[in-house]
Amino acid sequence: MELPFTRDEFFTVFARYNEAVAPAQLVLLAVGIAAAAFALRPTRWSDRLVGSVLAALWLWMGIEYHWRFFRAINPAATVFGAAFVAQAAILFWYAVVSRRITFRAPQTLQGGLALTLLVYAFAVYPAVGWVLGHRYPATPTFGLPCPTTIATLGLLLWCGARPPAAVMVIPWAWALVGSIAAIQLGVGEDLGLPVALAISVWGWLGTQRLRTASSRPATA
C-alpha cells in the first residue's frame, strides 16, 4: 500500500494538532485513565461513564484529528473520520443508551492482557516514542487514533459479556490500517497495534467459545 504522504508530513500533522489542541491531550489522557479505573472498580453508573468516554474519544478523533488535520495530507481521512464518528455513535448506543455492554475487569489471563494494553497505551507508548527520538509536539499523543485504539481494544476486553461484532469492526479495521502504516513509516510505538489486534480477536473469539461451551447441556 503506497501512502499519499511522506513520513515528515505525517509527523508535521502531529505537531500541528498538538500545538492547536494543547493542553487537551492531558485531559484526554486523564479521562482515559479514569475510564480504566472505573472498569477496575465498577459502580452502578460506571458502565455508562466508560462507554461515554470511549464514544467521546472516537468522536474527538474523527472530527479533530481526521477531519481537521489529517485530511490535509491524506484525502482518505474524510472516510476515516466518518468511520470514527460512526464508531462513537455505535459505542454510545451499545454502552450508554441500550446498556448492552458492561465493563468488568476479570481476574483472568484475558483481563491481565487487557490491563497490559492499557498500560502500554497510557504510559509505555509515549516512552517508546521518546526512545525512538519522537519529540513533542511532533509525536502521537493519547487522543490520537493509534494509542487510543489500543486503549479501546483493552477496555473492550473487559466487557462483562462478548461485545457485539458491530462494536469491534471499526477498531479492528483501524488497528490493521495503522499496523501497515506503522511499518511503512517506521513509527515503532504503533507496533503495539498488531499485538492489540491479535489479543482482541483472540479474546473475542475465546469468549464466544466459552459461552457456547457453557450453554451446552450436560451429558451423562
Average pLDDT in the chain: 93
SS3 159: strand
Mean pLDDT throughout 93-99? 96
Mean pLDDT throughout 120-147? 98
Distance of CA 105 to the CA centre of its chain: 17
Instruction: Find all residues with CB under 8 Å of 154, minimum gap 6, and list them.
Output: 36, 114, 115, 116, 117, 118, 121, 196
The amino acid at 180: I
* 47 within 8 A of 61, measured Cβ to Cβ: no
Nearest CA to 161 among 117, 87, 116, 95? 95
CA distance 19 to 47: 33
Cβ atoms within 10 Å of 33's Cβ, excluding its own: 17
Q: What is the pLDDT of residue 2?
A: 82
Q: Which of 44-53, 143-152, 200-209 has the lowest average pLDDT?
A: 200-209
SS3 114: helix
Is the model's pLDDT at 210 over the cut of 50? no
Is the model's pLDDT at 9 over the cut of 90? yes
Is the model's pLDDT at 74 over the cut of 50? yes
Is the model's pLDDT at 137 over the cut of 50? yes
Q: What is the pLDDT of residue 206?
A: 86
Q: What is the pLDDT of residue 1?
A: 67
For 30-42, the pLDDT digits (tens) are 999 999 999 999 9
